[in-house]
Amino acid sequence: MKWKKVKLKYMVILLVGIVVSVSILITGYFINETVSERIVASQEEKAFNVAKMIAQTPTIIEALNGLEREGRIQELTAKMRESTNVEFIVVMDMNGSRKSHPDPDKIGEKFVGGDETDVLMGKEYSSVSEGTLGPSLRAFTPIFDENHLQIGAVAVGISLNRIDFVLSILRGNIFMGICIGIIFGAVCAILLSSLVKKVLLGLEPSEIARILKERQALIESVHEGIIAVDKEGDITIANQSAVSLLGKTGTEQDLVGKKIDCISSSSFLRRSLETGKEYLDQEQVVNGKELISNTVPIIVNGDIVGAVNILRDKSEIKQLAEQLTGVQLYADALRAQSHEFMNQLHCVMGLIHLKEYAELENFIEKTVEDTQNDISNMTKKLRDPALVGFLLGKLSYARESGITFALSINPVFPIWKDAKFSHDLITIIGNLLDNAIDAAVESANKQVSLKLELFDKKLIIEMRDSGKGIKTPFQKYIFQKGYSTKGENRGYGLFLLKQTVEKRNGRILLSSSKTEGTTFMITIPLQWEGDKT
């Protein structure tokens, strides 16, 4: 069975169980060894203490010297053995003959065990040997008289069976402690595994690894730059798009793990961490690079734990918006032409049904003449087919709205050197015309005039309408994105117009009054094909 297929719960229980069990077993082993050695040492020390007391007892010394009857030795050692709870106390003379013994019948016999030789030579020691009372731990001490001459020896024994009994009780307690510890460790392991699973939302390690890989792949696949920071302001995520985009502003490449201050565009991230607010569609200029920033705080259980910043190159958005605006303007122009053509067809059909052929002929001649005049006037002075088609559509739209549209082009325009200029010009004129027509519809005169002039290598666009004008307090806001008095989701036309004019290094002049209407004058420097300057 592969480890990665084992559930996290069982892995935690197994790991913690093994660690706890091994730790407790090793600890129990060393405790057992240490305590066993200590018990044996304490019993040995006890035997030596008793032996020394006997060896220093005056009555024992006098009895061995013949100054006291030998029976006193048995009497004293018997009392001492009962009070100290030792197995035996044997006093022997220099020949190894017993002078005392737990069994009085063995008094006078030779000491049994074969380990008494060294004590009769004046040495003090301990040994383990088997005598008439079975195996025992023995402590030997020589007995000296007042002239420091050895007159005998004493042997104190503690039964090994008694020591083993004490050790067995000790080992039983240690084993019980080990079992309780292992059971407690197993319970803790189960609780810990449940807690870990809860913290990880019930996910297994393989699932977490897969989610992290998928998240990383998803973040890296996004075209926008993504930067995430924690509540301390440390960067935790920076995808390749963010690194590439900020690299163009002079920001260092290795961002993850760095402080937020290393990013030039970090102002909204800092604010979001402090206030917990969103900052959407914010424009920033970083070392000359225009960026669009969206910053959102990360809030978990009511606490701010970080923030995410999404960056995009403003030039890309601007280009897309201009393209969409141009397409919309083209579509509006085509719709107006189509609508006007359908109206003309309905008029022709009505005249045919009424058999008013003379009137039909006049209507067709007048329509063709007006159309040819419009086309001729534009095509003679404008060499841009797209712009001509667009203006024809706007003429149709103005007529459909009941507005008089005066168009003046002076002089003959050359071919634009920059092919994209045609699209920019349609964006500028289209937004001006839309606003002018909307204003003129509400006026009594319903007039709109557009003048295109070339003067000193500059294109001058003048747009007038007969509307009620723009109030002075509002004139400074009309070029702001999203500002409009016509309702929601409006206010982008003049914003795009201003951006397009600034991109072409042009300028905009505005004059407006309630009686004169509104006039926009736009001046744009330009070059055309064949221009060497």
Q: Which of 189, 165, 137 has its CA nearest to residue 24?
A: 189
Beta-sheet strand order (sheet of 235-238): 235-238, 225-230, 303-313, 289-300, 279-286
**395 shares its domain with 296:** no
Among 60-69, 130-139, 245-254, 265-274, name the most confident range: 60-69
User: Which of 284, 313, 342 marks a domain boundary?
Assistant: 313
Q: Which of 224, 529, 532, 174 has its CA nearest to residue 383?
A: 529
- Domain membership of residue 452 (yes or no) is yes
- The whole-chain average pLDDT of the chain stands at 77
> 3-class secondary structure for 236-247?
EEECHHHHHHHH
Name which residue leads in pLDDT, 245 or 235. Answer: 235
pLDDT at 286 over 80: no
pLDDT at 1 over 60: no
CATH, residue 43: 3.30.450.20
CA end-to-end distance (rounded Å), the chain:
80
Segment 121-146 mean pLDDT: 83
Lowest mean pLDDT among 170-179, 319-328, 422-431: 319-328
- Domain membership of residue 479 (yes or no) is yes
Instruction: Name the token pair of 444.
Output: 């009594």
Instruction: Name the token pair of 387.
Output: 């712009």
Rounded to an integer, what distance in angstroms lies between the CA atom of residue 47 and that of residue 139? 6
The boundaries of the domain holding residue 459 are: 356-525
**360 shares its domain with 306:** no
- Domain membership of residue 194 (yes or no) is no
Tell me how far apart the 2 most distant CA atoms of the chain are, in Å: 177
In the block, tokens 């005039």 appear at 449
**508 shares its domain with 374:** yes
**17 shares its domain with 146:** yes
CATH, residue 415: 3.30.565.10
- Domain membership of residue 36 (yes or no) is yes
pLDDT at 532 over 50: no
**24 shares its domain with 153:** yes
- Domain membership of residue 215 (yes or no) is no
Among 217-226, 247-256, 337-346, 394-403, name the most confident range: 394-403
Lowest mean pLDDT among 114-118, 125-129, 264-268: 264-268
What's the pLDDT band for 338 if we cut at 50, 70, 90?
low
**155 shares its domain with 230:** no
Lowest mean pLDDT among 174-188, 267-281, 309-323: 309-323
Segment 413-421 mean pLDDT: 73
**369 shares its domain with 307:** no
pLDDT over 90, % of the chain: 5
Segment 328-349 mean pLDDT: 60
- Domain membership of residue 273 (yes or no) is yes
Quote the pTM value. 0.40
What's the pLDDT band for 331 if we cut at 50, 70, 90?
low
What's the pLDDT band for 119 if we cut at 50, 70, 90?
confident
pLDDT single digits (tens) 441-496:
888 888 999 998 988 888 899 999 998 888 888 888 888 876 666 655 456 778 88
Among 124-133, 210-219, 355-364, 460-469, name the most confident range: 460-469
Residue 489: what pLDDT? Answer: 46
**304 shares its domain with 378:** no
pLDDT at 324 over 70: no
Rounded to an integer, what distance in angstroms lies between the CA atom of residue 234 and that of residue 245? 19
pLDDT at 142 over 90: yes
Domain count, the chain: 3
- Domain membership of residue 153 (yes or no) is yes
Residue 361: what pLDDT? Answer: 66
Q: Which of 368, 378, 434 has its CA nearest to residue 401?
A: 434
**412 shares its domain with 509:** yes
What's the pLDDT band for 328 if we cut at 50, 70, 90?
low
pLDDT single digits (tens) 16-33:
777 777 877 787 778 777
pLDDT single digits (tens) 64-108:
888 888 888 888 888 888 888 888 888 988 888 888 888 888 888
User: Which of 279, 313, 347 marks a domain boundary?
Assistant: 313
Residue 519: what pLDDT? Answer: 92
**279 shares its domain with 410:** no
Segment (H or E) for 426: helix 420-441
Residue 522: what pLDDT? Answer: 93
pLDDT at 333 over 70: no
> From the DSSP assignment, how many helices (H) and strands (E) are in the chain?
13, 14
What's the pLDDT band for 319 if we cut at 50, 70, 90?
low
- Domain membership of residue 178 (yes or no) is no
pLDDT at 322 over 60: no
User: Which of 150, 166, 182 marks a domain boundary?
Assistant: 166
Half-sphere exposure of 234 (CA within 13 A, CB side): 4
Segment 417-425 mean pLDDT: 76
**392 shares its domain with 517:** yes
Residue 367: what pLDDT? Answer: 61
**148 shares its domain with 85:** yes
